[in-house]
Structure 1
Amino acid sequence: MRRLVLAAILSALLGGPALAQDPSQQDAAPQGSPPNATALLFETNQLANAPPGRPLTYRYTRFSGIDGAPFGPPVEDRIREEVGLGATPETRNLKVEMFSGERRMPTATYEDVPGNPVLVRFLEHHLDDLARVLKGNPRYIKNAIRRALRESASVTPAEVEVDGAKKPGWRVVARPLVDDPVRDRLRGFDSLTYTFVVSAAVPGQIVSIDARATSPEGGILLQETLSYEPNAG
């Protein structure tokens, strides 16, 4: 097992400290000014509403229509987080199992963390694959995502379905490469759009993540998604 410190990973991804805000900031229906995208995704206590002993499961898919399949064949798999009590009521200990079979990654453990590591794990995996296909530096794309979330991402109210009822949440949309100075060399991936949906009504708060790039003709260069599965167990 790898023992990882989530705060250090978040700091590396975002270029700054990862802080845990009061989860009650998201409990009420969205109203007034929307929260900052970075604070909402990376600086919020997301695990206080995740019951210890009840795993969090996410469905992962990836599809690309690029000739030659540089991303590999279509993928459907799972990420599973075992949840245990942390040192405080707001934190949890986690064991994260990412993918299965030949794709399975080493199990990672997190101790006493407030943030949901599935978001960072998804982005790290996505950036590694994207940088490999584009033959670029993942740090360049990571910095573009970080800048977009801090400076230009849109945050709008969203509705999510929980146990048959509509609950409030937030949708964050970022297009980090749309005005990139080297977008002519990005083979259409300047269209990359990241959509995050979060809600305090969902354990772990991450409802879905969608990373999508399309060609000018409408073809799918990449569609990579993560979706919370409430009844997967």
Structure 2
Amino acid sequence: MRFIGMRAASLALMIAFGSGVAFAASDEKPASEAAETPSEATNIVFNHKHLANVDVGKELVYHFKRTVTNAQLLGEAFTDDITLKVTGVKEDGGRDVDLQIYTGDRARNLQSMPDRQANPVFLVYFNQAVNSFSMLAGGQRNYLTRVFSQGFQDKAKVEPVKIDYKGKTVDATRITMTPYVGDDNASKMEGWEGAQYTLVVSDAVPGQVVDLIAKYKNKYPGDLELVERITLDGATGLEEVK
């Protein structure tokens, strides 16, 4: 395994405090590769207008939680908040939004994004998911992004679930995938190829994003596990990652 000496120390710092999540103001995203018939997961994640039910002035708070089994190798555990505020509505229904990733010493620069249909918190999650996997397993980021994206088309499990939002039980959808399992390069991924990604979305909550989880567990000895989770404030009744 690679986690020895200076690489372990630098890896811990990059994963815990890397600036990778701060790209969300751009149009870059791991867009699902073209397909004649998009899968249900692809439609939900990439084609829905997630912000259509968020009015001007509405502020959404998402709680970020990072847990690890070995802080020396994987970086420190911490909790923080991500805040999204709608500042305007376009004629086509797009939303102008301000996105603040983290607070205090961890705070990224405020990102103002015009005319957004999709919830940019997805972009924070996508980018951090690929960055974390790349730092753990190695590999070219462009390749890992493509495989991650295509997982929504080819490998995603979609199932209905119930969640509680601010004291009310509502319908939701859970999407689960392990995009790197079975990949041609899985043997080069240092035991991290089983990375599991779980997304819970619901039309009944503002912004539609309920819970976004990335779980990394190494199959080799050492009990290495990293979980990064983004959860909408007020959402409860969520199952723990298995």
- TM-score strictly above 0.5: yes
The correspondence of residues 1-233 of structure 1 with structure 2, limited to 5 A, is 4-5=25-26, 8-10=27-29, 13-14=30-31, 36-66=40-70, 68-69=72-73, 71-88=74-91, 90-216=93-219, 219-230=223-234
Hey, what's the Cα distance between the residues in 2 that align with 1:104 and 1:189? Answer: 29
Are the counterparts in 2 of residues 2 and 107 from structure 1 also a CA contact under 8 Å?
Answer: no
Hey, what's the Cα distance between the residues in 2 that align with 1:182 and 1:74? Answer: 29
CA deviation digits over 1:168-189, x for unaligned, max 9? 1111011111112232332221
| Distance of aligned partners of 1:41 and 1:68 in 2 relative to their CA distance in 1, 3 Å threshold | same
CA deviation digits over 1:197-229, x for unaligned, max 9? 000011000000111122346935211101000
Please give the TM-score of this superposition, normalised by the length of structure 2. Answer: 0.78
Gaps of 5+ in 1: 18-34
| Distance of aligned partners of 1:186 and 1:16 in 2 relative to their CA distance in 1, 3 Å threshold | closer
CA deviation digits over 1:76-123, x for unaligned, max 9? 111101112221373211010101233222221111111100011122
Shift of 1:64: 2.3
Runs of 4+, deviation exceeding 6 Å: none
Gaps of 5+ in 2: 1-21, 236-242
Please give the TM-score of this superposition, normalised by the length of structure 1. Answer: 0.80
| Distance of aligned partners of 1:176 and 1:170 in 2 relative to their CA distance in 1, 3 Å threshold | same
| Distance of aligned partners of 1:14 and 1:176 in 2 relative to their CA distance in 1, 3 Å threshold | same
Q: CA RMSD in A?
A: 2.5
Identical counterparts, % of pairs: 22
Hey, what's the Cα distance between the residues in 2 that align with 1:101 and 1:189? Answer: 32
| Distance of aligned partners of 1:183 and 1:67 in 2 relative to their CA distance in 1, 3 Å threshold | farther
Shift of 1:149: 0.6
Hey, what's the Cα distance between the residues in 2 that align with 1:2 and 1:150? Answer: 24
Count of residues paired in the alignment:
209
Hey, what's the Cα distance between the residues in 2 that align with 1:105 and 1:205? Answer: 23
Are the counterparts in 2 of residues 188 and 213 from structure 1 also a CA contact under 8 Å?
Answer: no
